[in-house]
Structure formats: structure tokens, C-alpha cells
Structure 1
Amino acid sequence: MELRQIKYFIAVAEELHFGKAAQRCHIAQPPLSQQIKRLEEELEVKLLERTSRRVSLTPEGEEFLVRCRDIQDRLTEAVACIQDMAQGLEGMLRIGFIGPASLSQLPMAIRAFREANPNIRLDFSAKSTTEQLPVLRSDRLDIAFVRLFGHDTTGLKSMLFLREPYVLAIPDGHHFSKKDRIDIRDLEGEPLIFNQRIAQPALYRSLIGSFHKAGFMPNIVQEVNTEQSTVALVSTGLGVALVPASSARDKRSGVSFKPLDGDLPQWEITALWKAKNESVILKKFIETLKEFQEIAEEPAIWPR
């Protein structure tokens, strides 16, 4: 069965006249009649009753007309859909992100993109950097927001989305509360809540190296795997913590944030996508991201 046979049958069924149907389909009447006959032979069902005076639908023909119209509507819809996809007007974008990205301008960028592209569906996945990279490479993500420290990014394109300094999170009532700024050397002996080594080994070494340069080893009392958990533990009074400046947007009671001076790496979030991904939707999203980048002027200490 061919799509043109469905088109011809719909025309005959609606016109109930082979001559008018042939004119509608812009073909001669004999070829049209032959196509309808072949269709009936293939189905082994009589669709039309023909006499010298009139053409009418059999019960099977009436049901087949309903199904053929549905096929035609779906085909029209499919064509419109793929044309919209080609223009980046419709489709899906799968976004992966690390938890701290939710405190950056990423939510605002996503909102702006959704408002400008209401017919594009967005699918979100919160995962660590290490978890996101293989998912991105296997085409189960279109773009990933990660924190890179020594990770293999072969075959991927990148855009720095956020660069900001570390600040010190302290519990209310801490003796640092009266200070405007904290020097890293002031942290000697302070109970410190720290990132887990296993989550980002290169970052862990870089931060520990900053304390070594300041002349002491940090007094780590607890290791955690997310910035949100870190701030939560600071609020309990367990210790102080180095956190990205954007963490101050988390208005958690019992915690305040102080600028931190010292030879520390910058805190960065990078957007990654496959170099071979030519999606128009992805390109439009990246253009939106550029409007919401937050990049401090001073360069990162850790080479990306």
C-alpha cells in the first residue's frame, strides 16, 4: 500500500465521483480508478459500490476512510513536527547539572529559554560531574553543567558559565562574625567541613595545597559530597567551610558568609556538549546561556 493510494481513496470517498476525485488529485480518471482497484485487491476488501449512476462506500469503506484520514492527519503532523525541529521550534533538550548550578544563574537562563521556546520540552538530571560525562558521551544528555578538575573532555566542546571565588561559611555567633574579611591563615586550627576527596580528587589536592602554602594543615572534622550539605552542617555549629560565593544565595538561617583571602582556586561551572551535536535547539540554548554567564575578572588558579 502506498500513501498516494490513501490520498486517492480519500478523494473518491469524499467526492463519491471518480471524475471529480481525479481533478482534485490532478491525475486522469483511468489511473485513479486503477489505483483504487489495486488497493481493494491488496486489502481483499470491497471499499466502494460502483454503478453507472453513483459511487457509494461499503461499511468497510466507511471505516477505512476514518482510518485513512487519521493516517493523513498524523503524516501532516509529523511533517510539521520535523520541520519545526529542523528550525529549533520543537523537540527536546536534556540537561544535566551538578547541585551547586541551581544556585547560579542557570535557573534564570532556563526560564528565559522556556519562555522564548514554549514548544521545546526540557528534561533535567541532577548528577555529579563524574556521573554526567559518560551519560553525555552516550547521547543520553545534550548538555551538562559540571565542575572540571583534570577530567577527560576529549570530543567535547565547553563554555565557562560561572567563575567565582570561594567564601567562608560560618555559623552564627562564631568569633569570625565581627571580621569583614577572613585570611586563609586565620583558619589554622579551625574545625573545617571539607569536600570529599573521592568526589573530586584533583580539586581536593588543590585546596589542600592552598593550606600548605599558607603554612599549615587544615583541621578537617567532616567531609561531605555536596555544597548544600556543607552549608547545612555549618548551621549546626560543627565547623566552618569553604563554599562558592553563590552559596550565599541559599538563605539558610544560622549561617553567614565572609570574603576569603588566600591563594585559592576559583570556583567554576562549565557547560559541556558533544562536538558532533549539531542540534539547532542546543545551539539556541547555548546562545541563551551566554546572556547569563557569571565570570569574575580574575583568572582561575587551577588550569582548566
Structure 2
Amino acid sequence: MERRDVEVFLTLAEELHFGRTARRLRVSQARVSQSVKAMERRIGAPLFDRTSRRVALTPIGRRLESDIRPAFEQLLAGIERAITAGRGIEGTLRLSFEAPALAELIALPLKAFRARYPACEIEIREAPFADPFAPLRSGEADVAVMLLPVTEDGLTTGPVVHTEPMVLAVAAGHPFARREFVTLEDLARDVVLRAAHPPPAYWSETTPEGKPITRGRAYGTFQELLLVIGAGEGICPLAAHAEQYFARPGIAFVPFRDAPEAHWGLVWPTAGETGRVRAFATEFQST
């Protein structure tokens, strides 16, 4: 049953006149008649007694009106509240990405947010590879898309916005490059490189079987990291989108068989949670 048909029925139940109902809804009288007939076919019984002089609800019509009018008015009120809230989300939301490619991978929710809140502008920026938390700490970003989990004090973790497998980046001539897959145990067989910022708490120093993992030197930019991987100075676990966005002849990306998936989520300063941030997080919770 279409919302417009319900609206026609309830309006006609008030006006009890096809012409006034049509003028009130700004439709033709034929459209009103078509809607009423469609509902009557769906119900299987007449909803109105019609004569040349009067229109009146049938007993079934009166019962239907009393049953659905409160729900319909509640629906309209909810829509109106959402519109009011939407118009209240204004200003600029500054969004930083630990991995810039994620901006393209979550393009659909970003587009939906812009459509829902046209008065709110989104500014997108790349977070420093060496310290992805810096824009949140300095106030240059309101919310960030980061690799989870995040255990930093003073930050709130919101919904997951993207999930993907992990791969191991190795030099094209590395023995692992000829494999169909690698395992977490393979991390003990080479130097594992990382970014310049301190490794997150969930990074283990051993494999699942307890073999020690040798950590190599840290690098300040992602391009530096790829350069030394290609030079054969070490290996690095990365989220799978790296293969699509950073493919190059000197590097192979080998899938993990047993590594947990990478989860990217929204993170924002707890003390800086605004209506814009909550609305943005809600957009992803509903997808």
C-alpha cells in the first residue's frame, strides 16, 4: 500500500468530498478516485459509501481510519523531526584518513551524508603516516578513519566503516612472492617493517606459536616504506587495498591465510563530540 494512497484515504475521511480532497492534496479528482479504488481492492471491501449527494465512511472504513491514522501521523512527525534535525547539521566536518584510499572505498556513505545534510561541508585530509592521531590531537580534524582497535586515551571509537583482508608486502624477488599465501608464522622469517609512530598495543612481538618477530626500523612516509620493501630490506603486513592503490613492479602482495581481517573505523576526541560527528557516525551505523 503506497503512502500516497493512505494520505488520500485519510484526507477523504476528513473532508468527505472528492473535490476538496483533490484541492487539498493538489491532485486530480481522478487520482483521488483511483487511490480509493486501489485501497478497496486491497482491503476487499468498500471504504466509502458514495452517492451523488454525499460521501460517508463505511464501518470498515471507520475502523481502518481509527487504526492507521495515529501511526501515519507518527510517521509524518518522525519525518519532520528528521528534516528539522538535518537542516540543523551545518558548518564543516573535518575528516582525516590514516589510509587515503579509504576515502574512495567509503564513497557511497560519504555521498549519502552529503545528500542528507547539504548544509554541512566535509573537508577531507590525509593524516600523517608517522602519527595518524596528530590531526585529532591538534584539533585539525573532528573525526578520523583509522585502523582498529584504537586504545588512545581521550578518543571514542565509532562504527566500523570498512573491512578487508590482510596481505603481506614483500619484494618481487622475495621467496614469499612465489607463494599463493603466507601465514602469521612467516613473519618470524624476515624483518617486519612499520611506520615511524609507536606500534599499536595489539601488535604482537611473537607469532601464534611463540616465535619472535624481528622489528625493523620505522619509516616516516608510506612511500619510504614501499621503497625499502621493494629493495628487499624487510616485509610488512598491509590491508588488502594497498595492492590496488599502490601496486608497483618491485613489490608483491601475498594474501594471508590466517590473519584476522583489517577493520577501519571512525574515531573522534571524546570531548569534541558534536552533532555533526554524531550524525556522521549514524550514517555508517545505518549502512
TM-score by length of 1: 0.52
**1:245 CA displacement:** 1.9
How far apart are 1:182 and its partner, in Å? 0.8
- Equivalent residue number for residue 258 of structure 1: 254
Question: Contact 1:146–1:271 (CA<8 Å) still a contact in 2?
Answer: yes
Cα deviation digits, residues 242-301 of structure 1 (max 9, x gap): 112222222421222112244x5653322134477452x444433433466xxxxxxxxx
Does the CA contact (< 8 Å) of 1:93 and 1:142 recur in 2? yes
- Quote the residue 1:23 is aligned against: none
Q: Evaluate the alpha carbon distance shift between residue 173 and residue 160 of structure 1 in structure 2; reply closer, same or farther with a 3 A threshold.
A: same
Aligned equivalents of 1:179, 1:89: Cα separation in 2: 51
Correspondence for 2:264: 269
**CA deviation digits over 1:115-149, x for unaligned, max 9?**
5555432223433343244345xxx5432223444
Give the match for residue 174 of structure 1. Answer: 174
Shift of 1:181: 1.1
Structure 2 CA distance for partners of 1:157 and 1:169, relative to 1, 3 Å: closer
Q: Does 1:151 align with 2:181?
A: no
Higher alpha-carbon Rg: 1
Quick one: structure 1 residues 120 and 261, their matched pair in 2 at CA, closer, same or farther if it must change by over 3 Å?
same
1:118 & 1:184 partners in 2: Cα distance? Answer: 45
TM alignment of 1:1-304, pairs within 5 A: 87-88=87-88, 90-99=90-99, 102=102, 105-114=105-114, 117-127=117-127, 128-135=131-138, 141-147=141-147, 148-153=149-154, 156=156, 158-196=158-196, 198-203=197-202, 206-209=203-206, 211=207, 213-225=208-220, 227-254=222-249, 255-262=251-258, 264=259, 266-273=261-268, 274=270, 277-279=273-275, 281-290=276-285
Question: Shift of residue 94 of structure 1?
Answer: 1.6
Identity %: 20
The answer to whether the 8 A contact 1:100-1:228 is kept is no
CA 1:106–1:257: 2 relative to 1, 3 Å: same
Whether the 8 Å contact between 1:142 and 1:282 is mirrored in structure 2 is yes
Name the aligned partner's letter for residue 94 of structure 1: R
Distance 2:89 2:194 in 1: 44
Distance of aligned partners of 1:175 and 1:141 in 2 relative to their CA distance in 1, 3 Å threshold? closer
Task: Identify unmatched segments of 5+ residues in structure 2.
Answer: 1-82
Q: Secondary structure at the match of 1:99?
A: coil
User: 1:154-212 CA deviation, whole Å, 9 max, x = no partner?
Assistant: 6x36222234443111222332233211123234332432344x433424xx2323x2x
One-letter amino acid of the counterpart of residue 134, structure 1: R
Counterparts of 2:245 and 2:214 in 1: how far apart (Å)? 25
Normalised by the length of structure 2, the TM-score is: 0.55
Number of residue pairs aligned between Structure 1 and Structure 2: 199
- Structure 1 stretches of 4+ with a deviation exceeding 6 A read 83-86
In the alignment, residue 271 of structure 1 is paired with which amino acid? L
Distance 1:246 1:104, change over 3 A: farther
Backbone CA RMSD of aligned residues = 3.6
Structure 1 unpaired stretches of 5+: 1-82, 293-304
SS of 1:146's partner is: strand
